[in-house]
Structure 1
Amino acid sequence: MTTLVFVHGWSVTSTATYGQMPQLLQAGAAAAGLPLTLADIWLSEYVSFDDAVTMADLVRAFDHALRDLHLRDASFACVTHSFGGPVVRAWLHAQRTRPTRCSTIKLTHLVMLAPANFGSALAQLGKGVLGKLKAWWHGVEPGQRLLDWMSLGSTASLALNLDTIHGTDPAAAGQYQFVLTGDRPDRALYDYLVPYTGEDGSDGVVRIAAANLNARHAVLHWDGKSTTGDIDELALQLTRGPRFAFKIVAGAAHSGSDHGILRAAAPATVQDILRCLQVRSGDDYAALANAFDAENAGRDAHRVELEPAAPYPDRVHIHDPRSQLIVRISDDSGEPLVGAGFLLTAGPQASPDLMPPGFMLDRQVNAQQRATTTLYLNHALLAGADRVNHPDNTRKTLRPATISHQPYGASVKPLDLAGLVHHALARSTAGDDLLAILGPHQTTVLDVVLSRKIHAGVFRLTDDLSPQDFRDPAPGPVIG
């Protein structure tokens, strides 16, 4: 077997973060007939708690560190945790797009544990708040520039993820990428001042949908013709990215010695990693992806968690599949439209009042890109869900059956509806159902592109050579 490199997460200060995972993997590999010795395992030590460090810096330093390994066959496999996943993916992107700056070392297998591929809702809280979360870091605060990268909807993270969505399938080129992520927070680490640490549909740090690389890119844009009254009708385009093997590890949290997906090193997680490392062909990869999908479906079928709260009744958590929708609003010149209203609508009436109760779980505007908003949605409620009964008493209903309110659409209200240059009200066309762009446990990037309405009064030519005052120009018609 090739060399195995471990890459830790964000703001780690000690290789103790890996726990017994390297040793357990070595023992498991021996049992599975894989020739992996401790001499073949390398642990990363990279600095993420310095405000000067950027993602590009980490990529260059990682490439330099790999060159010093003197790999026997110029290839390696990698197991990452948390932010380590995006770091290695950014290196792969640089290796492909800047070949003169990066080594030609081949990564054969990338197994990402709880990767913050689409960021974390916690990142935008600021390093002062996050520095108090002892479950993550010890004695230092995280670097601000990496925090900015990890904020939901950041320009840098979206650039990397859109490149993946629109790129070629890595498995077709013999590079196998896997995502394994936990499905619930460690309740003992919950911080009541930071509700995201106990958010259902996450591992307490990273949402399942934000870890998953199975993602989509949708665009709503005006075709220049479709207008009803004063409202532009936006047509839908959808791109689905390559398929990635994705496994939800039931009961695993992001970190911690009791339930953490890395340090706790549950035997099932070790076996899942070994299953990934044993993939040798595209057929193997597809078979494992299918197996993971079946196991995820089994996990989703038993979605009720009863959290002990003695002496009070158990707290009920219904782990519905969630979807993350990152909405960017701009116009056809590329200008971000800050402050534009975006509403999801339901039913033939296209009314926001008909959206299913409880469908919206969270909404976060990116602090640096104010025209980018991340919506966290309950996919089960949008699609319609069966009755949920109490696991210990099937006659007791925890939630009645819910019906879908399809078709779903969107309406957009820009701030500037009048003027020499303005934007018009817009909505998705009646024939498009936006449920189609959402996947359970997945992220969709939605670009809403409005038409920039430029009036003829912005620029005129006149053959009247006498002085003319045009401080109060007549708008005239919208130019084509």
Structure 2
Amino acid sequence: MTTLVFVHGWSVTSTSTYGQLPQQLQQLAANAGLALTLADIRLSEYVSFDDAVTMPDLVRAFDHALRDLHLLDAGFACVTHSSGGPVVREWLRAQRDKPATHSTIRLSHLVMLAPANFGSALAQLGKSMLGRLKSWFAGVEPGQRILDWLELGSAESLSLNLDYIHSDDPLKRGQFLFVLTGDRPDRKLYDHLNSYTGEDGSDGVVRIAASNLNAHHAVLSPQVGARGAVDTLELNLSRGPRCAFKLIAGAAHSGDDLGIMTSAAPATVQAILRCLSIRSTDDYVALCDAFERENAARDADKVELEPAGPFAPRVHIHDPRSLLIVRLTDEVGEPLTGAGFLLTAGVQASADLLPEGFMLDRQANSKQSATISLFLDHSLLAGDSRVADPRNTRKTLRPAAASHRPYGASVQPRDLGGLVHHALAKSAAGDDLFAILGPHQTTVLDVVLPRKVHEGVFRLTGKLTPQDFSKPVAGPVID
């Protein structure tokens, strides 16, 4: 087998983070038909906790480190954890786009454990005073520049992910990508100062949907020829390449007991070996299908009863979630700062008709305030059957929920008047935005409004005597 490189995540300061995973993989590789020895394994030591280090810096240094391996077959496989996934994916993009400055070493398999592909809701916490205090007591900086990349809706992460969605399938280059992620937090690691660490639909650090590379890019843009007081926006949808994606039941992001990597649970090791055994497109497609069946079985067993000492257990219903990252701009790329964005339901297109409890979280990017990440309960939006109590199936934990489709969107810009402004806008009545969402998946939604420029912005006059135009008349909108 080619060399196997392990790449850790953000803020790691010791290779102990890999736990027994490398050794267990080596021990069980032979049973999977893989010739893997400890001499074939390399553990990364990269610095993400220095505030001066950027993602391009890591990519450049990673490329240099690979060259130093002097690989005999000029190829390797890689297992990453958390932000290590985006680091290697950024390197793959740089290798493709800048062949003159990056190595020709070929990556065959990229197995990402709990990757923060679309970022983490916790990245804002990491930049807070609490994050700085934790880093100060540990003797390291929080890694500001890497956290900027990892923030939900960052321009850098969206650039990488939209490039992936719209580029050729990695299978055409002979590259096999895999995402394995835990399906729940480690409740023992819950931080009472931040509820994200115990958030259902995540592994305690990264949301399941934000890990998954089976993603969509949707655009709501002005409908050609539409007239009226409210601009109508037409929907266009693009889907990214299919990526093998598996939920590791009971695994969390980190921790000695449940962590997807350090605990080296048998399910994690076996899933990695299944990924590394893939040798053809047919094998890859078959594994994708198998993972989907296994995920469906996990989703069917959605009730978790968390022990609460002498009290009744806490009930968690693990519905599939969707992450919707909304970017509000106009047709020239100006961000619509301060604009109101509302989801609507039913043929009446009313926000009042949305299912109760469907909105789980809303977070605006700190650097691009017109980029908003919405965490949604996909099951409640789709409509779900009754959820029974596993202790007594005659009891109901949640009654059946009806779908409220079709779903739409409306936008209310802050500037509704003036020489240059925007108008109210809404999605077309025939478009159902539920089609852009996927269970355990992320959708980037670009909402693009027409820019209303009035003829009063620029006029020509035949009057040669001095004219005061300090209070211009707006006039009609330029077509």
In the other structure, the counterpart of 1:324 is: 323
Q: Which amino acid aligns with 2:173?
A: A
**1:49-73 deviation digits (Å, cap 9, x = unpaired):** 0000000000000000000001010
1:142 shift after superposition: 2.1
Q: Within 5 Å, give how 1:346-425 maps onto structure 2.
A: 346-425=345-424
**CA contact 2:33–2:277 (8 Å) conserved in 1:** no
| In the alignment, structure 1 residue 205 sits paired with structure 2 residue 205 | yes
Rounded to whole Å, the distance in 2 between the matches of 1:459 and 1:75 is 60
What secondary structure sits across from 1:439 in the alignment? coil
**CA displacement, residues 167-201 of structure 1 (integer Å, 9 cap, x when unaligned):** 11101221000000001000000001110000000
Matched residue of 1:36: which SS? Answer: coil
SS in 2 for 1:95: helix
Amino acid at match of 1:422: H
Q: Distance in 2 between matches of 1:436 and 1:172?
A: 27
Confirm or deny: 8 A CA contact 1:122 1:130 kept in the other structure. no
Instruction: Compute the RMSD of aligned alpha carbons.
Output: 1.1
How does 1:417-456 map onto structure 2 within 5 Å?
A: 417-456=416-455
Are the structure 2 counterparts of residues 126 and 266 from structure 1 closer, same or farther at C-alpha, using a change threshold of 3 Å?
closer
Structure-2 separation of matches of 1:78 and 1:95: 15
Unaligned 5+ segments in structure 1 are none
Report the CA distance shift for 1:133/1:192 in structure 2 as closer, same or farther (over 3 A): farther
Task: Give the Cα–Cα distance (whole angstroms) in 2 for the partners of residues 32 and 364 of structure 1.
Answer: 43
- Partner in structure 1 of residue 130 of structure 2: 129
Query: For each residue in 1:16-66, what CA deviation from the matched residue of structure 2 results, as whole angstroms up to 9, or x when unmatched?
Result: 000000000001102222110000000000000000000000000000000
Q: Is the 8 A contact 2:78 2:110 kept in 1?
A: yes
1:130 shift after superposition: 3.0
The residue matched to 1:306 in structure 2 has which SS?
A: strand
Residue of structure 2 in register with 1:99 after alignment: 99
1:130–1:141 Cα contact (<8 Å) kept = no
Q: How far apart, in 1, do the equivalents of 2:380 and 2:349 lie?
A: 17
> Which whole-Å CA distance do the structure 2 matches of 1:22 and 1:362 have between them?
36
Aligned residues: 477
The amino acid across from 2:131 in the alignment is: L
* Offset from partner CA, 1:207-234 (integer Å, 9 cap, x none): 000000000000000034213x310000
Go from structure 1 to structure 2 and tell me whether the alpha carbon gap of 1:191 and 1:132 turns closer, same or farther (over 3 Å shift): farther
Q: Is the 8 A contact 1:341 1:412 kept in 2?
A: yes
Gaps of 5+ in 2: none
C-alpha separation between the residues in 2 aligned to 1:91 and 1:367? 26
| Counterparts of residues 8-27 of structure 1 (less than 5 Å) | 8-27=8-27
CA contact (8 A) 1:131 1:140 kept: no
Seq. identity, %: 73
Secondary structure of 1:188's match?
helix
- Match of 1:308, SS state, is strand
Per-residue CA deviation, residues 226-272 of structure 1 (Å, 9 max, x unaligned), is 13x31000000000000000001010000000000000000111000
Which whole-Å CA distance do the structure 2 matches of 1:444 and 1:141 have between them? Answer: 32
Aligned counterparts of 1:281 and 1:53: Cα–Cα separation in 2:
37
- What is the TM-score with the length of structure 1 in the denominator? 0.98
TM-score, with normalisation over the residues of structure 2?
Answer: 0.98
**Distance of 2:287 and 2:224 partners within structure 1:** 45
Distance, in Å, in 1 between the alignment partners of 2:169 and 2:156 is 21
Match of 2:267 in 1: 268
Partners of 2:50 and 2:140 within 8 A in 1: no
How many Å apart are 1:125 and its aligned residue?
1.9
